[in-house]
Amino acid sequence: MSLHHLLFPILILAFSAASSLAATTKDQTLNTHQAEFFNPKLPPRILSSSKKFEGSSDIVDLRYHMGPVLSSSPINIYLIWYGRWSVSQKLLIKDFINSISPSATPSPSVSDWWKTVSLYTDQTGANVSRTVVIAKEHSDTGYSRGSHLTRLSVQQVIATAVEAALFPVDHRNGIYLILTSDDVTVEDFCRAVCGFHYFTFPSMVGHTLPYAWIGNSGKQCPEVCAYPFAVPGYMGGGGPGSLAPPNGDVGLDGMISVIAHELAELSTNPLVNAWYAGEDPTSPTEIGDLCEGLYGTGGGGGYIGQVMRDQKGKTYNMNGNKGRKFMVQWIWSPVLKACAGPNALD
């Protein structure tokens, strides 16, 4: 999400998404594997973003502010598993991250989705790197900063890993990614954010390093942060139901889309001085914010867009490595000036 990934409505931005949006400048051939397409209309999230543009618009003032993007290849992910994580949970998330780099995965794929991120450039014309790797991992199973984290103690978790030489100091290529398990509470989690990214303070970590945090909402607020795999409880079964997650885990499948959102924004705005809309760098509207809640062609007005459902009823919109399927939100294309994804139908 953005710097704050604010979910409270501040201003209603009413744009129709009736038009179909292309994923990239090249045509995509959809590999559906006997999947059916459908465009479900779901009840709104309990907390909804004020920054979403449902469709395309020339008035979206997404501008480059002369700061760096992560153009050096590869982008190195330094991954901290905070709390208790099972082997299968870790494998699912790592399979998603490892699906970002170019591969032979059938379209629509996660690597196709990242092509839109790679369209963004710095002042030298260098594009965001197409290659993303998990450089190192660290498991903080002892909850070194407790079972409740603040924004500052999230940085302290990174500081501990760097000071202990578990991770190198990687100013140029690095993203420090902290994932908290479903029993860890975090400041503003579920109330105002599902994840956030920023950079570490030298006074706290000793260095300025881009980082992101995302929490597993499965037990705390799935209807907020794992939407559309969980819907608001007030519906009481009287309206459209939630969608079946592609990997059978509401919390993790929802978390993966938030991870994607944060990685896309961190790569294009790592020091909060590169690509964003608005005049306030402390609360920027970034390339994921503009398309939050959109997963396919025809999204908007309560519809998430055309996505796929397999023979077991599981919903997804793109393929990953090892036969994995994922449901990932679209992001803003600087070329199309519209929300874009690899599963676009035209």
Residue 56 pLDDT > 70: no
What Rg value do the Cα atoms of the chain yield, rounded?
18
Q: What is the pLDDT of residue 45?
A: 58
Confidence of residue 193 (pLDDT cuts 50, 70, 90): very high
What is the reported pLDDT for 241?
65
pLDDT average, residue stretch 75-81? 98
The confidence band for 205, taking pLDDT boundaries of 50, 70 and 90, is very high
Question: CB under 8 Å to 178, separation ≥6 — which residues?
Answer: 80, 82, 154, 157, 158, 211, 212, 213, 214
Domain ranges of the chain: 51-340
Q: Is the pLDDT of residue 11 over 60?
A: no
Indicate whether 6 pLDDT > 80. no
Instruction: For residue 102, give both structure tokens.
Output: 């170019």
Q: What is the pTM of this model?
A: 0.87
**Among 144, 143, 273, 126, which residue's Cα sits nearest to residue 208?**
273
Those residues whose C-beta lies under 8 Å from the C-beta of residue 82, and which sit 6 or more positions away, are: 140, 143, 149, 157, 178, 179, 180, 181, 184
Record the tokens describing residue 317, joined without a space: 């919109």
Judged against a pLDDT cut of 80, whether residue 274 lies above it is answered with yes
Report the C-alpha dihedral over residues 345, 17, 114, 11, rounded to 10 degrees: -170
| pLDDT for residue 236 | 47
The pLDDT, as a whole number, for residue 40 is 79
